[in-house]
Structure 1
Amino acid sequence: MLTVAASCAMATNALAEETTRIEDSSRLISIGGSLTEIIYALGEEKRLVARDSTSLFPPEASKLPDVGYMRALSPEGVLSVNPSGIILLEGSGPPEALDVLKKATIPMVIVPEHFTGQGVLDKIHSVGKALGVEEKADRLAASVDADLTAAQKAASSVDKRKRVLFILSMQGDRIMASGKNTAANGIIELAGGVNAIDGYDGYKQLTEEAVGKAAPDMILMMDRTGNHAANDDQIFSNPAFAGTPAARTKNLVRMNALYLLGFGPRTAKAAHDLSVALYGDAVQH
Protein backbone atom coordinates (compact mmCIF):
# COMPACT_ATOMS: atom_id res chain seq x y z
CA MET A 1 0.00 0.00 0.00
CA LEU A 2 1.31 3.43 -0.92
CA THR A 3 1.72 6.02 1.81
CA VAL A 4 0.06 9.42 1.40
CA ALA A 5 3.46 10.97 0.75
CA ALA A 6 4.29 8.35 -1.89
CA SER A 7 1.00 8.73 -3.72
CA CYS A 8 1.35 12.51 -3.65
CA ALA A 9 4.87 12.22 -5.04
CA MET A 10 3.64 9.99 -7.88
CA ALA A 11 0.91 12.48 -8.73
CA THR A 12 3.22 15.48 -8.73
CA ASN A 13 5.85 13.61 -10.72
CA ALA A 14 3.22 12.79 -13.34
CA LEU A 15 2.47 16.49 -13.71
CA ALA A 16 6.08 17.68 -13.52
CA GLU A 17 6.81 17.08 -17.19
CA GLU A 18 3.96 19.27 -18.39
CA THR A 19 5.06 22.74 -17.26
CA THR A 20 8.35 24.32 -16.23
CA ARG A 21 7.37 27.98 -16.64
CA ILE A 22 4.30 29.92 -15.62
CA GLU A 23 3.67 32.53 -18.29
CA ASP A 24 1.49 34.68 -16.03
CA SER A 25 2.89 34.51 -12.50
CA SER A 26 1.30 37.76 -11.35
CA ARG A 27 -0.99 35.90 -8.91
CA LEU A 28 1.08 33.02 -7.67
CA ILE A 29 0.44 30.43 -4.97
CA SER A 30 3.52 28.81 -3.45
CA ILE A 31 3.11 25.34 -1.94
CA GLY A 32 6.15 24.33 0.09
CA GLY A 33 8.07 26.35 2.66
CA SER A 34 11.41 26.19 0.84
CA LEU A 35 9.84 27.41 -2.42
CA THR A 36 8.30 30.39 -0.65
CA GLU A 37 11.68 31.19 0.91
CA ILE A 38 13.30 31.06 -2.51
CA ILE A 39 10.69 33.38 -4.01
CA TYR A 40 11.37 35.92 -1.25
CA ALA A 41 15.14 35.48 -1.65
CA LEU A 42 14.72 36.24 -5.35
CA GLY A 43 12.85 39.44 -4.50
CA GLU A 44 9.73 38.19 -6.30
CA GLU A 45 7.37 38.04 -3.32
CA LYS A 46 4.98 40.61 -4.81
CA ARG A 47 3.79 37.88 -7.15
CA LEU A 48 2.44 35.83 -4.22
CA VAL A 49 -1.26 35.90 -3.38
CA ALA A 50 -1.25 32.85 -1.07
CA ARG A 51 0.95 30.14 0.42
CA ASP A 52 0.62 26.83 2.23
CA SER A 53 0.86 26.29 5.99
CA THR A 54 4.53 25.22 5.84
CA SER A 55 5.54 28.60 4.39
CA LEU A 56 6.50 30.39 7.59
CA PHE A 57 9.71 32.13 6.57
CA PRO A 58 10.39 34.95 6.18
CA PRO A 59 7.89 36.02 8.86
CA GLU A 60 6.03 38.32 6.46
CA ALA A 61 5.04 35.26 4.42
CA SER A 62 2.67 34.27 7.21
CA LYS A 63 0.59 37.36 6.44
CA LEU A 64 -0.45 35.81 3.12
CA PRO A 65 -3.67 33.76 2.92
CA ASP A 66 -3.06 30.13 3.94
CA VAL A 67 -4.50 27.51 1.56
CA GLY A 68 -3.70 24.58 3.87
CA TYR A 69 -1.07 21.91 4.46
CA MET A 70 0.87 20.95 1.34
CA ARG A 71 -0.09 17.25 1.55
CA ALA A 72 -3.75 17.94 2.32
CA LEU A 73 -4.72 20.69 -0.09
CA SER A 74 -8.32 21.63 -0.76
CA PRO A 75 -8.98 22.61 -4.39
CA GLU A 76 -11.66 25.02 -3.21
CA GLY A 77 -9.20 26.80 -0.93
CA VAL A 78 -6.58 27.06 -3.67
CA LEU A 79 -9.03 28.30 -6.28
CA SER A 80 -10.62 30.83 -3.90
CA VAL A 81 -7.69 33.25 -4.34
CA ASN A 82 -7.99 33.18 -8.15
CA PRO A 83 -4.36 32.25 -8.88
CA SER A 84 -2.75 32.71 -12.27
CA GLY A 85 -0.31 29.90 -11.46
CA ILE A 86 0.77 27.48 -8.74
CA ILE A 87 4.27 26.35 -7.87
CA LEU A 88 4.36 23.19 -5.78
CA LEU A 89 7.03 21.17 -4.05
CA GLU A 90 7.22 17.51 -5.04
CA GLY A 91 5.01 15.49 -2.70
CA SER A 92 2.20 18.06 -2.56
CA GLY A 93 -1.31 16.66 -2.83
CA PRO A 94 -3.45 14.70 -2.39
CA PRO A 95 -3.57 13.43 -5.99
CA GLU A 96 -7.31 14.07 -6.22
CA ALA A 97 -6.78 17.75 -5.40
CA LEU A 98 -4.10 18.07 -8.06
CA ASP A 99 -6.42 16.45 -10.61
CA VAL A 100 -9.10 19.05 -9.86
CA LEU A 101 -6.61 21.90 -10.18
CA LYS A 102 -5.28 20.47 -13.43
CA LYS A 103 -8.82 20.36 -14.85
CA ALA A 104 -9.23 24.01 -13.83
CA THR A 105 -6.45 24.72 -16.34
CA ILE A 106 -4.33 26.63 -13.85
CA PRO A 107 -0.64 26.35 -14.84
CA MET A 108 1.33 24.36 -12.27
CA VAL A 109 5.04 23.81 -11.88
CA ILE A 110 6.20 20.90 -9.74
CA VAL A 111 9.66 21.39 -8.19
CA PRO A 112 11.62 18.19 -7.41
CA GLU A 113 12.84 17.59 -3.85
CA HIS A 114 16.29 16.13 -3.21
CA PHE A 115 17.85 16.36 0.24
CA THR A 116 21.32 17.42 -0.87
CA GLY A 117 23.19 20.64 -1.47
CA GLN A 118 22.71 20.17 -5.21
CA GLY A 119 19.02 19.64 -4.55
CA VAL A 120 18.83 23.13 -3.04
CA LEU A 121 20.54 24.66 -6.08
CA ASP A 122 18.24 22.77 -8.44
CA LYS A 123 15.21 24.11 -6.56
CA ILE A 124 16.45 27.67 -6.95
CA HIS A 125 16.96 27.22 -10.68
CA SER A 126 13.53 25.57 -11.05
CA VAL A 127 11.81 28.46 -9.28
CA GLY A 128 13.76 31.00 -11.32
CA LYS A 129 12.73 29.31 -14.55
CA ALA A 130 9.09 29.03 -13.44
CA LEU A 131 8.97 32.77 -12.77
CA GLY A 132 11.09 33.79 -15.75
CA VAL A 133 13.87 35.27 -13.58
CA GLU A 134 16.72 32.95 -14.48
CA GLU A 135 19.46 35.54 -14.01
CA LYS A 136 18.31 36.29 -10.47
CA ALA A 137 18.20 32.56 -9.79
CA ASP A 138 21.75 32.14 -11.11
CA ARG A 139 23.01 34.81 -8.71
CA LEU A 140 21.15 33.36 -5.74
CA ALA A 141 22.31 29.83 -6.56
CA ALA A 142 25.93 30.99 -6.80
CA SER A 143 25.71 32.62 -3.38
CA VAL A 144 24.05 29.59 -1.79
CA ASP A 145 26.56 27.27 -3.46
CA ALA A 146 29.45 29.23 -1.96
CA ASP A 147 27.85 28.96 1.49
CA LEU A 148 27.28 25.21 1.06
CA THR A 149 30.87 24.70 -0.07
CA ALA A 150 32.16 26.60 2.97
CA ALA A 151 29.95 24.63 5.35
CA GLN A 152 31.01 21.31 3.87
CA LYS A 153 34.69 22.29 3.91
CA ALA A 154 34.44 23.16 7.61
CA ALA A 155 32.70 19.88 8.40
CA SER A 156 35.24 17.88 6.40
CA SER A 157 38.00 18.94 8.81
CA VAL A 158 36.56 16.66 11.52
CA ASP A 159 38.34 13.34 11.93
CA LYS A 160 35.84 11.30 13.96
CA ARG A 161 32.22 11.59 12.82
CA LYS A 162 29.55 11.71 15.50
CA ARG A 163 26.36 9.69 15.31
CA VAL A 164 23.09 11.62 15.29
CA LEU A 165 19.61 10.25 15.96
CA PHE A 166 16.83 12.43 14.58
CA ILE A 167 13.57 11.92 16.47
CA LEU A 168 10.47 13.04 14.65
CA SER A 169 8.16 12.45 17.61
CA MET A 170 7.92 10.84 21.05
CA GLN A 171 4.14 10.63 21.29
CA GLY A 172 3.19 8.06 23.91
CA ASP A 173 6.92 7.46 24.50
CA ARG A 174 7.07 5.79 21.08
CA ILE A 175 10.27 6.83 19.34
CA MET A 176 9.68 7.75 15.69
CA ALA A 177 13.09 8.25 14.10
CA SER A 178 14.60 9.07 10.74
CA GLY A 179 16.31 6.58 8.49
CA LYS A 180 17.82 7.22 5.06
CA ASN A 181 16.36 9.28 2.19
CA THR A 182 14.89 11.93 4.47
CA ALA A 183 15.53 15.62 5.02
CA ALA A 184 16.92 14.77 8.45
CA ASN A 185 19.42 12.34 6.96
CA GLY A 186 20.41 14.94 4.38
CA ILE A 187 21.10 17.71 6.87
CA ILE A 188 23.01 15.37 9.20
CA GLU A 189 25.31 14.41 6.33
CA LEU A 190 25.79 18.04 5.25
CA ALA A 191 26.78 18.86 8.83
CA GLY A 192 29.44 16.16 8.81
CA GLY A 193 27.56 13.78 11.06
CA VAL A 194 26.47 10.17 10.62
CA ASN A 195 22.84 9.15 10.74
CA ALA A 196 22.67 6.68 13.62
CA ILE A 197 19.92 4.79 11.77
CA ASP A 198 20.80 3.30 8.40
CA GLY A 199 18.68 0.16 8.23
CA TYR A 200 15.61 1.64 6.56
CA ASP A 201 14.29 4.56 4.52
CA GLY A 202 11.89 7.19 5.85
CA TYR A 203 10.57 7.37 9.39
CA LYS A 204 9.78 4.36 11.58
CA GLN A 205 9.19 3.51 15.20
CA LEU A 206 12.28 2.23 17.00
CA THR A 207 12.54 -0.47 19.65
CA GLU A 208 14.68 -0.03 22.76
CA GLU A 209 17.14 -2.49 21.29
CA ALA A 210 17.42 -0.51 18.06
CA VAL A 211 18.10 2.73 19.94
CA GLY A 212 20.79 1.08 22.02
CA LYS A 213 22.39 -0.39 18.92
CA ALA A 214 22.30 3.00 17.18
CA ALA A 215 24.39 4.45 20.03
CA PRO A 216 23.79 8.12 19.14
CA ASP A 217 26.21 10.79 20.32
CA MET A 218 23.52 13.42 19.79
CA ILE A 219 19.74 13.47 19.66
CA LEU A 220 18.32 15.96 17.18
CA MET A 221 14.73 17.17 17.24
CA MET A 222 12.55 19.92 15.85
CA ASP A 223 11.84 22.82 18.16
CA ARG A 224 8.07 22.64 18.37
CA THR A 225 5.09 22.26 20.68
CA GLY A 226 1.98 20.10 20.54
CA ASN A 227 1.26 16.39 20.57
CA HIS A 228 4.58 15.40 18.99
CA ALA A 229 6.74 17.48 21.32
CA ALA A 230 8.80 16.03 24.18
CA ASN A 231 10.88 17.72 26.85
CA ASP A 232 14.43 16.73 27.72
CA ASP A 233 13.41 14.81 30.84
CA GLN A 234 10.93 12.74 28.84
CA ILE A 235 13.65 11.87 26.35
CA PHE A 236 16.41 10.95 28.74
CA SER A 237 14.17 9.14 31.23
CA ASN A 238 13.08 6.76 28.47
CA PRO A 239 14.80 3.40 29.08
CA ALA A 240 15.65 3.14 25.39
CA PHE A 241 18.31 5.82 25.78
CA ALA A 242 19.95 4.41 28.89
CA GLY A 243 23.62 3.86 28.26
CA THR A 244 23.76 5.77 24.97
CA PRO A 245 26.50 8.40 24.60
CA ALA A 246 23.82 11.07 24.06
CA ALA A 247 22.12 10.24 27.37
CA ARG A 248 25.40 10.21 29.28
CA THR A 249 26.20 13.75 28.12
CA LYS A 250 22.56 14.93 27.87
CA ASN A 251 23.34 15.96 24.30
CA LEU A 252 20.05 17.02 22.72
CA VAL A 253 19.76 19.76 20.09
CA ARG A 254 16.53 21.34 18.89
CA MET A 255 16.21 23.46 15.77
CA ASN A 256 13.40 25.14 13.87
CA ALA A 257 11.74 22.63 11.56
CA LEU A 258 11.79 24.66 8.34
CA TYR A 259 15.30 25.95 9.00
CA LEU A 260 16.63 22.46 9.70
CA LEU A 261 14.70 20.36 7.18
CA GLY A 262 13.47 22.79 4.53
CA PHE A 263 16.42 22.51 2.13
CA GLY A 264 16.04 26.07 0.98
CA PRO A 265 18.35 29.11 0.86
CA ARG A 266 19.23 28.84 4.58
CA THR A 267 20.31 25.19 4.46
CA ALA A 268 24.04 25.97 4.42
CA LYS A 269 23.69 27.99 7.62
CA ALA A 270 21.55 25.28 9.22
CA ALA A 271 24.17 22.67 8.33
CA HIS A 272 26.91 24.86 9.78
CA ASP A 273 24.95 25.47 12.99
CA LEU A 274 24.37 21.74 13.41
CA SER A 275 28.03 21.06 12.66
CA VAL A 276 29.09 23.52 15.36
CA ALA A 277 26.67 21.86 17.80
CA LEU A 278 28.31 18.53 16.98
CA TYR A 279 31.97 19.49 16.89
CA GLY A 280 32.34 22.91 18.51
CA ASP A 281 35.33 25.06 17.66
CA ALA A 282 36.70 22.49 15.23
CA VAL A 283 34.31 23.77 12.56
CA GLN A 284 33.96 27.42 13.56
CA HIS A 285 36.22 28.60 10.73
Structure 2
Amino acid sequence: MTMFDRLYFVLILFATSVLHSIQFEYEDLNFNGRWDPTENLVISKPSDKYITIGGAVTEVVFNLGFGNSVIAVDQSSTMPSRVKDLPDVGYIRMISSEKILSKFPNKIFTSTSMSPKTAVEQLKASPLDFMMYDAPKNIENTMKLIDSISRDLGVVELGDILKNRMFEQMTLIKDIKNTFDVVPQIVFFMNPKSGSYVAAGKGTIADYLIEFIGGENIFTNEFNSYQKVSEESILIKNPDIILVAAHNSADDVSSFFLNNENFKNLESVKNGNIIEIQMSDLTMGTSFPENALKILKSFSLNAE
Protein backbone atom coordinates (compact mmCIF):
# COMPACT_ATOMS: atom_id res chain seq x y z
CA MET A 1 0.00 0.00 0.00
CA THR A 2 1.46 3.32 -1.06
CA MET A 3 1.68 6.40 1.18
CA PHE A 4 -1.09 7.99 -0.86
CA ASP A 5 -3.29 4.93 -0.38
CA ARG A 6 -2.65 5.00 3.37
CA LEU A 7 -3.46 8.71 3.58
CA TYR A 8 -6.60 8.21 1.51
CA PHE A 9 -7.65 5.35 3.79
CA VAL A 10 -7.10 7.50 6.90
CA LEU A 11 -9.14 10.30 5.39
CA ILE A 12 -11.96 7.91 4.56
CA LEU A 13 -11.96 6.62 8.15
CA PHE A 14 -12.02 10.18 9.49
CA ALA A 15 -14.85 11.23 7.20
CA THR A 16 -16.82 8.12 8.09
CA SER A 17 -16.35 8.85 11.79
CA VAL A 18 -17.55 12.44 11.41
CA LEU A 19 -20.53 11.43 9.30
CA HIS A 20 -21.40 8.74 11.81
CA SER A 21 -21.33 11.29 14.63
CA ILE A 22 -23.57 13.65 12.69
CA GLN A 23 -25.92 10.83 11.71
CA PHE A 24 -26.08 9.58 15.31
CA GLU A 25 -26.99 13.03 16.55
CA TYR A 26 -29.65 13.43 13.89
CA GLU A 27 -31.09 10.04 14.85
CA ASP A 28 -31.32 11.28 18.42
CA LEU A 29 -33.08 14.39 17.20
CA ASN A 30 -35.59 12.79 14.91
CA PHE A 31 -36.50 9.63 16.78
CA ASN A 32 -35.45 9.54 20.41
CA GLY A 33 -36.30 13.12 21.36
CA ARG A 34 -33.13 13.33 23.46
CA TRP A 35 -31.74 16.40 21.73
CA ASP A 36 -31.80 19.56 23.80
CA PRO A 37 -31.96 22.84 21.88
CA THR A 38 -28.67 24.74 22.30
CA GLU A 39 -26.78 21.42 22.49
CA ASN A 40 -23.83 21.90 20.17
CA LEU A 41 -23.68 19.88 16.99
CA VAL A 42 -20.44 18.17 16.05
CA ILE A 43 -20.36 20.32 12.91
CA SER A 44 -20.29 23.52 15.00
CA LYS A 45 -16.75 24.78 15.58
CA PRO A 46 -15.14 28.00 16.92
CA SER A 47 -13.22 28.21 13.65
CA ASP A 48 -16.53 29.03 11.92
CA LYS A 49 -16.32 32.44 13.65
CA TYR A 50 -19.94 33.58 13.54
CA ILE A 51 -21.21 36.83 15.04
CA THR A 52 -24.92 37.00 15.81
CA ILE A 53 -26.71 40.33 16.27
CA GLY A 54 -30.28 40.54 17.59
CA GLY A 55 -31.82 38.52 20.42
CA ALA A 56 -34.09 36.39 18.25
CA VAL A 57 -31.40 35.64 15.67
CA THR A 58 -28.88 34.68 18.34
CA GLU A 59 -31.35 32.41 20.10
CA VAL A 60 -32.23 30.61 16.87
CA VAL A 61 -28.57 30.04 15.92
CA PHE A 62 -27.80 28.64 19.37
CA ASN A 63 -30.94 26.52 19.48
CA LEU A 64 -30.04 24.99 16.16
CA GLY A 65 -26.84 23.70 17.76
CA PHE A 66 -24.31 26.22 16.44
CA GLY A 67 -23.36 27.87 19.73
CA ASN A 68 -19.76 26.69 19.41
CA SER A 69 -19.49 28.64 16.17
CA VAL A 70 -20.42 31.99 17.72
CA ILE A 71 -17.51 34.18 18.83
CA ALA A 72 -19.45 37.36 19.75
CA VAL A 73 -22.99 38.71 20.11
CA ASP A 74 -24.69 42.06 20.59
CA GLN A 75 -26.09 43.43 23.85
CA SER A 76 -29.70 42.56 23.00
CA SER A 77 -28.74 38.87 22.81
CA THR A 78 -29.45 37.38 26.24
CA MET A 79 -30.68 33.87 25.41
CA PRO A 80 -29.48 31.25 26.05
CA SER A 81 -27.72 32.31 29.24
CA ARG A 82 -24.27 31.23 28.08
CA VAL A 83 -24.12 34.09 25.57
CA LYS A 84 -23.23 36.27 28.56
CA ASP A 85 -19.77 34.69 28.47
CA LEU A 86 -19.14 35.95 24.94
CA PRO A 87 -17.72 39.34 23.90
CA ASP A 88 -20.34 41.85 22.81
CA VAL A 89 -20.11 44.09 19.77
CA GLY A 90 -22.48 46.81 20.99
CA TYR A 91 -26.22 47.30 20.74
CA ILE A 92 -28.08 46.24 17.61
CA ARG A 93 -29.35 49.78 16.89
CA MET A 94 -25.93 51.35 17.40
CA ILE A 95 -23.59 48.91 15.71
CA SER A 96 -20.04 49.82 14.78
CA SER A 97 -18.81 47.99 11.69
CA GLU A 98 -15.22 48.54 12.84
CA LYS A 99 -15.88 46.77 16.14
CA ILE A 100 -17.41 43.81 14.33
CA LEU A 101 -14.65 43.56 11.75
CA SER A 102 -12.02 43.70 14.51
CA LYS A 103 -13.27 40.27 15.64
CA PHE A 104 -12.37 38.84 12.20
CA PRO A 105 -15.62 36.88 11.75
CA ASN A 106 -16.37 34.71 8.76
CA LYS A 107 -20.14 35.16 8.87
CA ILE A 108 -22.60 37.60 10.42
CA PHE A 109 -26.22 36.77 11.25
CA THR A 110 -28.49 39.73 12.02
CA SER A 111 -31.94 41.20 11.46
CA THR A 112 -33.43 44.28 9.85
CA SER A 113 -33.46 45.93 13.29
CA MET A 114 -29.75 46.54 12.87
CA SER A 115 -28.60 50.14 12.45
CA PRO A 116 -27.20 52.65 11.66
CA LYS A 117 -27.58 52.30 7.93
CA THR A 118 -23.96 53.23 7.28
CA ALA A 119 -22.72 50.30 9.37
CA VAL A 120 -25.11 47.93 7.59
CA GLU A 121 -23.91 49.08 4.18
CA GLN A 122 -20.26 48.76 5.19
CA LEU A 123 -20.75 45.21 6.39
CA LYS A 124 -22.72 44.29 3.28
CA ALA A 125 -19.83 45.59 1.17
CA SER A 126 -17.25 43.59 3.13
CA PRO A 127 -16.06 40.15 1.96
CA LEU A 128 -17.88 38.53 4.89
CA ASP A 129 -20.99 36.43 4.54
CA PHE A 130 -23.64 38.88 5.75
CA MET A 131 -26.98 37.25 6.51
CA MET A 132 -29.82 39.68 7.28
CA TYR A 133 -33.32 38.45 8.12
CA ASP A 134 -36.62 40.24 8.75
CA ALA A 135 -36.90 41.17 12.43
CA PRO A 136 -39.74 39.04 13.89
CA LYS A 137 -42.75 40.95 15.22
CA ASN A 138 -44.97 37.95 15.91
CA ILE A 139 -44.77 34.19 16.26
CA GLU A 140 -45.37 33.62 12.54
CA ASN A 141 -42.33 35.80 11.79
CA THR A 142 -40.31 33.74 14.27
CA MET A 143 -41.26 30.53 12.48
CA LYS A 144 -40.09 32.06 9.19
CA LEU A 145 -36.85 33.14 10.84
CA ILE A 146 -36.23 29.58 12.00
CA ASP A 147 -36.92 28.31 8.48
CA SER A 148 -34.49 30.79 6.95
CA ILE A 149 -31.61 30.29 9.38
CA SER A 150 -31.96 26.50 9.51
CA ARG A 151 -31.91 26.43 5.73
CA ASP A 152 -28.82 28.64 5.56
CA LEU A 153 -27.07 26.45 8.14
CA GLY A 154 -28.10 23.25 6.38
CA VAL A 155 -30.13 21.85 9.29
CA VAL A 156 -33.73 22.19 8.14
CA GLU A 157 -34.72 19.10 10.15
CA LEU A 158 -33.62 20.76 13.37
CA GLY A 159 -35.62 23.84 12.50
CA ASP A 160 -38.72 21.69 12.14
CA ILE A 161 -38.09 20.17 15.56
CA LEU A 162 -37.75 23.61 17.13
CA LYS A 163 -41.00 24.73 15.56
CA ASN A 164 -42.81 21.59 16.71
CA ARG A 165 -41.73 22.26 20.28
CA MET A 166 -43.01 25.80 20.00
CA PHE A 167 -46.34 24.52 18.66
CA GLU A 168 -46.61 22.24 21.70
CA GLN A 169 -46.22 25.22 24.02
CA MET A 170 -48.74 27.20 21.99
CA THR A 171 -51.28 24.38 22.32
CA LEU A 172 -50.92 24.50 26.11
CA ILE A 173 -51.41 28.27 26.01
CA LYS A 174 -54.57 27.86 23.96
CA ASP A 175 -55.92 25.31 26.46
CA ILE A 176 -55.47 27.75 29.35
CA LYS A 177 -56.92 30.67 27.40
CA ASN A 178 -60.04 28.59 26.74
CA THR A 179 -60.68 28.45 30.50
CA PHE A 180 -61.12 32.24 30.73
CA ASP A 181 -64.73 33.35 31.14
CA VAL A 182 -63.73 36.94 30.34
CA VAL A 183 -60.74 38.49 28.64
CA PRO A 184 -58.33 39.66 31.36
CA GLN A 185 -57.39 43.33 31.21
CA ILE A 186 -53.60 43.53 31.30
CA VAL A 187 -50.95 46.24 31.30
CA PHE A 188 -47.17 46.10 30.95
CA PHE A 189 -44.86 48.60 32.62
CA MET A 190 -41.17 48.98 31.87
CA ASN A 191 -38.72 50.25 34.50
CA PRO A 192 -41.37 51.73 36.82
CA LYS A 193 -40.35 54.13 39.54
CA SER A 194 -42.29 55.90 42.26
CA GLY A 195 -44.65 58.26 40.45
CA SER A 196 -43.32 57.27 37.02
CA TYR A 197 -45.09 54.57 35.02
CA VAL A 198 -44.12 53.87 31.41
CA ALA A 199 -46.69 51.59 29.78
CA ALA A 200 -46.64 49.58 26.55
CA GLY A 201 -49.02 50.69 23.84
CA LYS A 202 -50.00 49.33 20.45
CA GLY A 203 -47.31 47.90 18.21
CA THR A 204 -44.95 46.79 20.98
CA ILE A 205 -43.82 43.24 21.65
CA ALA A 206 -45.37 43.60 25.11
CA ASP A 207 -48.70 44.42 23.46
CA TYR A 208 -48.35 41.32 21.30
CA LEU A 209 -47.42 39.21 24.34
CA ILE A 210 -50.57 40.32 26.16
CA GLU A 211 -52.72 39.33 23.18
CA PHE A 212 -50.75 36.08 22.78
CA ILE A 213 -51.66 34.95 26.30
CA GLY A 214 -55.32 35.82 25.83
CA GLY A 215 -55.47 39.25 27.40
CA GLU A 216 -56.29 42.77 26.26
CA ASN A 217 -53.80 45.58 26.68
CA ILE A 218 -55.64 48.38 28.49
CA PHE A 219 -53.63 51.00 26.59
CA THR A 220 -53.61 49.43 23.12
CA ASN A 221 -56.16 51.94 21.84
CA GLU A 222 -54.62 54.90 23.65
CA PHE A 223 -51.18 55.24 22.07
CA ASN A 224 -48.43 53.49 20.11
CA SER A 225 -45.05 52.37 21.43
CA TYR A 226 -44.29 53.29 25.07
CA GLN A 227 -45.65 56.26 26.95
CA LYS A 228 -45.70 57.55 30.50
CA VAL A 229 -49.15 57.29 32.09
CA SER A 230 -50.59 58.81 35.25
CA GLU A 231 -51.69 57.02 38.42
CA GLU A 232 -55.17 58.30 37.71
CA SER A 233 -55.32 56.60 34.32
CA ILE A 234 -54.17 53.32 35.90
CA LEU A 235 -56.88 53.59 38.53
CA ILE A 236 -59.52 54.30 35.90
CA LYS A 237 -58.45 51.36 33.73
CA ASN A 238 -58.15 49.11 36.82
CA PRO A 239 -56.21 46.25 35.18
CA ASP A 240 -56.76 42.66 36.28
CA ILE A 241 -53.07 41.88 35.78
CA ILE A 242 -49.97 44.05 35.82
CA LEU A 243 -46.86 42.77 34.05
CA VAL A 244 -43.71 44.60 35.00
CA ALA A 245 -40.06 44.34 34.03
CA ALA A 246 -36.82 46.25 34.50
CA HIS A 247 -33.53 46.25 32.65
CA ASN A 248 -31.91 45.72 36.04
CA SER A 249 -33.32 42.38 37.15
CA ALA A 250 -32.26 43.09 40.76
CA ASP A 251 -34.82 45.89 41.08
CA ASP A 252 -37.95 45.11 43.11
CA VAL A 253 -40.25 46.67 40.55
CA SER A 254 -43.48 45.15 41.88
CA SER A 255 -43.09 47.15 45.11
CA PHE A 256 -44.00 50.35 43.27
CA PHE A 257 -47.53 48.96 42.98
CA LEU A 258 -47.85 46.81 46.07
CA ASN A 259 -46.59 49.53 48.43
CA ASN A 260 -48.52 52.38 46.88
CA GLU A 261 -51.61 53.20 48.93
CA ASN A 262 -53.27 54.70 45.87
CA PHE A 263 -53.23 51.30 44.16
CA LYS A 264 -54.51 49.15 47.04
CA ASN A 265 -57.97 48.77 45.47
CA LEU A 266 -56.74 47.74 42.03
CA GLU A 267 -57.99 44.27 41.08
CA SER A 268 -54.44 43.26 40.20
CA VAL A 269 -53.14 44.31 43.62
CA LYS A 270 -55.98 42.75 45.61
CA ASN A 271 -55.62 39.41 43.77
CA GLY A 272 -51.84 39.30 43.86
CA ASN A 273 -51.55 39.62 40.12
CA ILE A 274 -48.47 41.84 39.95
CA ILE A 275 -46.27 39.65 37.77
CA GLU A 276 -42.57 40.39 37.37
CA ILE A 277 -41.18 39.17 34.06
CA GLN A 278 -37.76 39.29 32.43
CA MET A 279 -36.87 41.63 29.59
CA SER A 280 -35.79 38.51 27.70
CA ASP A 281 -39.44 37.37 27.78
CA LEU A 282 -40.04 40.05 25.15
CA THR A 283 -37.50 38.55 22.76
CA MET A 284 -39.36 37.18 19.75
CA GLY A 285 -37.20 34.07 19.59
CA THR A 286 -37.72 30.35 19.99
CA SER A 287 -38.38 30.61 23.73
CA PHE A 288 -41.21 33.14 23.34
CA PRO A 289 -44.07 30.59 23.65
CA GLU A 290 -42.39 28.89 26.62
CA ASN A 291 -41.88 32.20 28.40
CA ALA A 292 -45.45 33.25 27.60
CA LEU A 293 -46.74 29.99 29.06
CA LYS A 294 -44.85 30.58 32.31
CA ILE A 295 -46.34 34.06 32.56
CA LEU A 296 -49.81 32.75 31.82
CA LYS A 297 -49.53 30.04 34.48
CA SER A 298 -48.46 32.60 37.07
CA PHE A 299 -51.89 34.24 37.03
CA SER A 300 -54.30 31.87 35.30
CA LEU A 301 -55.51 30.40 38.61
CA ASN A 302 -56.72 33.84 39.62
CA ALA A 303 -58.46 34.58 36.32
CA GLU A 304 -62.17 34.95 36.63
* Superposition TM-score tier, normalisation by shorter sequence: 0.7 to 0.9
Q: How does 1:119-268 map to 2 (within 5 A)?
A: 119-171=141-193, 173-198=195-220, 199-222=222-245, 224-225=247-248, 229=251, 231-237=253-259, 241=263, 243-258=265-280, 260-268=281-289
Give 1:106 shift: 2.8
Q: What is the DSSP-based 3-state SS (H/G/I as helix, E as strand, rest coil) of the residue aligned with 1:278?
A: helix
Deviates more, 1:39-48 or 1:108-117: 108-117
CA 1:180/1:90 → structure 2, altered by over 3 Å: closer, same or farther? Answer: same
Larger radius of gyration: 2
Give 1:278 shift: 2.3
Conservation of the 8 A alpha-carbon contact between 1:85 and 1:108: yes
- Unpaired segments of 5 or more residues in structure 1? 1-24
Alignment RMSD (CA, Å): 2.6
Output the CA distance in 1 between the equivalents of 2:152 and 2:203.
26
Q: Deviations over 1:120-172 (max 9, x none)?
A: 21221122123232222122222222322332232223221211110012246
CA 1:91/1:277 → structure 2, altered by over 3 Å: closer, same or farther? Answer: same
Matched length:
257
Conservation of the 8 A alpha-carbon contact between 2:254 and 2:276: no
Taking every aligned residue pair, what percent have the same amino acid on both sides? 25
TM-score relative to the length of structure 2: 0.75
Bigger relative CO (Cα 8 Å, ≥ 6 apart): 1
TM-score relative to the length of structure 1: 0.80
Output the CA distance in 2 between the equivalents of 1:271 and 1:155.
12
Q: Deviations over 1:167-203 (max 9, x none)?
A: 0122463211101221111221221222121122211
Q: Give, as a single letter, the amino acid of the residue that structure 1 aligns with 2:181.
A: D
Q: Deviations over 1:86-109 (max 9, x none)?
A: 111331222232122223243322
CA 1:132/1:169 → structure 2, altered by over 3 Å: closer, same or farther? Answer: same
**Correspondent of 1:277 among 277, 298, 303:** 298
